[in-house]
Amino acid sequence: MAINRTQIAELPIPPGELLAEELEARAMTQKALAEAMGRPAKVINEIISGKKAITAETALQLERVLGTDATTWVRLEADYQLRKARRAAEERERAAATGA
């Protein structure tokens, strides 16, 4: 099966955006999630804003509190990081090709 370059070029979406949607659907605040996880609210805010990655430990805590499989969070984070890296590599290749 051929890989569609349009699919590869999709904008990377931080898994924190999906976490924010999940919290909204549950009418749960970032602070409430942080307290339930035993984490600082700042960490949850940084995950949601895409500034901090979801680690395996965080994924397990999300699983415990939200009931969403930890593997899902780890895979979302890995996919996000891969898309970001791929996009950066493509931008470097374009810049090199144009001599910028």
Residues 8-38 have pLDDT tens digits of 456 788 999 999 999 999 999 999 999 999 9
Residue for token pair 């969403």: 68
Question: Considering the chain, what is the average pLDDT of its residues?
Answer: 90
Instruction: For residue 64, count other CB atoms closer than 10 A to its CB.
Output: 13
Query: Which amino acid makes up residue 40?
Result: P
Residues 41-89 have pLDDT tens digits of 999 999 999 999 999 999 999 999 999 999 999 999 999 999 999 999 9
Q: What is the pTM of this model?
A: 0.82
